[in-house]
């Protein structure tokens, strides 16, 4: 057990002196924190943003920058897609899994076009062109992409429209997004303090959160927040004790974070009696090339398909990790996951989009591929025959892959082990791992204004949260862009609500 900072709250009566005073304290300077800081400052409050790192960014800056937006944005319209808040909400309620927050999804969908304009006004550029194929990150600067809306079962539940909005950038867009948002926050008047780790909250006798205790270069700092504190400290993927207690399926995989997602904000608020939701849930980025997967089959260690390969790739990953036992968190074998593709499908994906992925094995027959991969004799042969039968009839009866991607697989065949990893074209070296990169979705229970709620469902006075410190929109499902999306959207709400507190 790692020794961690105490999150036991400090009684306000025990704090004789405050090193710093502000109206609104924002803890954590990723996309949610920057959005909260901007709105709080814009509403006229004195704002201080602190981060344990040496600058703004957090996990947001390392991300692809996709933001889940819809309901009829100018980018959607320019690309020829109709959308409505209702269709967007219907998709999210299904895709974000059982237990998703329906009220937040409705609010988020209804406010999405406004939020798009707010982002544009903060300088975030979106190009009105469409990337129309399964991928993690398009190799272009196209501003719009599908995130599973056009895949089963969602096609049967909501009118499909692409809603993955991407800042125009040469590489991952998260850095650019953070530059725009932090510039906006600071231009609006928010002050910043870096290398500062907030470890506990200060609480008045009546339960109001009035400040925080922090550590900076080994010195303790006390910070008074006259109007409120917004926790935007991120999730807890960097805290293995918390993973073991809540989301053991995520242990041992590559952590998607800036190394600082230790759950501190979640724990500080829980120590005050805050409620949490869906602490078991996680996003699973699988080391596969979605374009290759869509053109072939994804199979488990029994040589069986388990999901439509043209769906949002994070859904393939969640199925693999939580349901197919990739990683071995359920008693039994840690399952392998293979992408099976033929030469035609492999070549159909341009080399730069393959991110260095090579076939692990190549064979002239399914039986030879079974032998090379160690998949059970007969299983892959049967799976390919069944898949090709579906392709011939133009209907995937088992997993409902779109006919667009359903084509018979003909030798030579390749098997790609997802545990062999992928790497950006710019990197070299071995990327072999568990096949998955993960972060957590569970967190504090908040209302539509970002108030952190108690076990009784009542706001804790003076305490707000947004981003992955909160559970946000999510059940146990995930879609790219909903983290930056709900973090910025409800971060703004939290900043405004904190600034307006008397």
Residue 382 interacting with a copy of itself (CB under 8 A): yes
CA distance 86 to 107: 11
Q: From residue 144 to residue 173, what is the string marking binding to a copy of itself with x (rule CB under 8 A)?
A: --------xxx-------------------
Q: How many DSSP H helices and E strands does the chain contain? A: 15, 22
Residue 126 makes contact with a copy of itself by CB under 8 A: no
Q: What are phi and psi of 415, to 5 degrees?
A: -120, 130
- Map residue 57 onto helix, strand or coil: coil
Dist CA 341 CA 450 (whole Å)? 46
d(CA 280, CA 472): 14
Query: Per CB under 8 A, does 459 bind a copy of itself?
Result: no
Determine which residue in the list 376, 411, 433, 459 makes contact with a copy of itself, applying CB under 8 A: 376
Query: Is 392 a binder of a copy of itself (CB under 8 A)?
Result: no
135's tokens: 């991928």
User: Cα(387)–Cα(399) distance, rounded to whole angstroms?
Assistant: 10
Whichever of 53 and 281 has its CB closer to a copy of itself, that residue is 281
270-329 residues in contact with a copy of itself (CB under 8 A) are 270-273, 275-280, 302, 304, 315, 319, 322-325, 329
| Per-residue binding letters, 25-64, with a copy of itself (x by CB under 8 A) | ----------------------------------------
- As measured in angstroms, the least distance from the Cβ of 389 to a copy of itself is 8
The answer to whether residue 407 forms part of the interface with a copy of itself (CB under 8 A) is: no
Determine the distance from the C-alpha atom of residue 205 to the mean position of all C-alpha atoms in its chain, rounded to a whole number: 37
d(CA 445, CA 490): 12
Q: Per-residue x/- marks for a copy of itself, 318-357, CB under 8 A? A: -x--xxxx---xxxxx------------------------
Q: φ, ψ for residue 422 (rounded to 5)? A: -130, 160
104, 246, 295, 492: residue in contact with a copy of itself (rule CB under 8 A): 246
State the nearest-atom distance from the C-beta of 388 to a copy of itself, in Å.
Answer: 13
Which lies closer to a copy of itself via its Cβ, residue 9 or residue 173? Answer: 9
Cα–Cα distance measured from residue 175 to residue 121, given in angstroms and rounded to the nearest whole number:
17
Q: Which residues contact 2 (CB under 8 A, 6 or more apart)?
A: 240, 241
Q: Which is nearer to a copy of itself, 108 or 476 (CB)?
A: 476
Alpha-carbon torsion, ordered 162, 166, 168, 171, to 10 deg: -120
Q: How many residues does the chain have?
A: 502
The whole-angstrom separation of Cα 129 and Cα 143 is: 6
445 binding a copy of itself? (CB under 8 A): yes
Residue in 229, 230, 212 with CA at minimum distance from that of residue 221: 212
Bridge partners of residue 415, in order along the sequence: 340, 361
Region near a copy of itself per CB under 8 A, out of 114-122, 163-171, 375-383, 422-430: 375-383
By beta-carbon proximity to a copy of itself, the closer residue of 9 and 72 is 9
Q: Does 98 interact with a copy of itself (rule: CB under 8 A)?
A: yes
Tokens found for residue 216: 């900076």
Nearer to a copy of itself, 94 or 119 (CB): 94
Which residues in this chain contact a copy of itself in the complex, by CB under 8 A?
1, 4, 6-9, 94-95, 97-99, 152-154, 244-246, 248-249, 251, 267, 270-273, 275-280, 302, 304, 315, 319, 322-325, 329-333, 376-379, 382, 386, 397-398, 445, 454-458, 475-477
């Amino acid at each position: 057990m790692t020794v961690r900072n105490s999150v036991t709250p400090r009684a306000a009566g025990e704090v004789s002196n405050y090193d710093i005073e502000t109206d609104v304290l924002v803890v954590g300077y990723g996309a949610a924190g920057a959005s909260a800081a901007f709105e709080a400052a814009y509403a006229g409050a004195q704002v201080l943003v602190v981060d344990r790192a040496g600058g703004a960014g957090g996990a947001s800056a390392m991300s692809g920058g996709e933001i889940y937006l819809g309901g009829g944005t100018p980018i959607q319209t320019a690309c020829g897609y109709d959308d409505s808040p209702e269709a967007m909400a219907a998709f999210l309620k299904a895709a974000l899994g059982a237990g998703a927050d329906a009220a937040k999804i409705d609010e988020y969908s209804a406010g999405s076009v406004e939020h798009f304009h707010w982002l544009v006004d903060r300088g975030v550029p979106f190009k009105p062109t469409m990337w129309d194929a399964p991928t993690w990150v398009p190799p272009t600067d196209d501003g719009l992409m599908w995130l599973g809306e056009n895949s089963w079962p969602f096609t049967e539940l909501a009118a499909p429209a692409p809603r993955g909005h991407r800042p125009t950038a040469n590489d991952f867009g998260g850095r650019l997004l953070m530059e725009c948002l932090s510039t906006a926050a600071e231009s609006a008047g928010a002050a910043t303090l870096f290398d500062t780790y907030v470890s506990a909250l200060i609480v008045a006798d009546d339960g109001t959160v009035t400040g925080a205790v922090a550590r900076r270069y080994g010195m303790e700092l006390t910070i008074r927040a006259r109007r409120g504190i917004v926790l935007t400290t991120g999730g807890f993927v960097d805290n293995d004790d918390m993973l073991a207690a809540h989301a053991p399926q995520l242990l041992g995989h590559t952590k998607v974070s800036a190394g600082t997602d230790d759950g501190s904000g979640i724990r500080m608020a829980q120590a005050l009696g805050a409620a949490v939701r869906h602490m078991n849930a996680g996003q699973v980025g699988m080391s596969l090339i979605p374009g290759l997967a869509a053109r072939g089959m994804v199979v488990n260690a029994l040589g069986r398909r388990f999901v439509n390969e043209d769906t949002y790739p994070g859904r393939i990953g969640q199925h693999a990790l939580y349901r197919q036992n990739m990683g071995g968190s359920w008693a039994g074998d840690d399952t392998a996951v293979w992408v099976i593709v033929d030469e035609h499908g492999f070549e159909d994906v341009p080399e730069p989009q393959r991110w260095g992925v090579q076939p692990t094995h190549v064979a002239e027959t399914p039986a030879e591929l079974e032998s090379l991969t160690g998949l059970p004799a007969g299983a892959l042969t049967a799976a390919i025959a069944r898949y090709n039968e579906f392709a011939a009839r133009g209907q995937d009866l088992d997993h409902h892959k779109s006919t667009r991607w359903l084509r018979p697989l003909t030798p030579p065949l390749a098997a790609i082990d997802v545990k062999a990893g992928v790497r950006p074209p710019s990197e070299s070296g071995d990327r072999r791992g568990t096949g998955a990169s993960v972060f957590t979705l569970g967190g504090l229970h908040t209302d539509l204004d970002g108030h952190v709620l108690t076990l009784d469902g009542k706001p804790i006075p003076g305490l707000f949260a947004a981003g992955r410190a909160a559970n946000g929109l999510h059940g146990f499902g995930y879609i790219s862009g909903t983290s930056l999306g709900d973090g910025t959207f409800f971060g703004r709400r939290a900043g405004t609500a904190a600034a307006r507190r008397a």
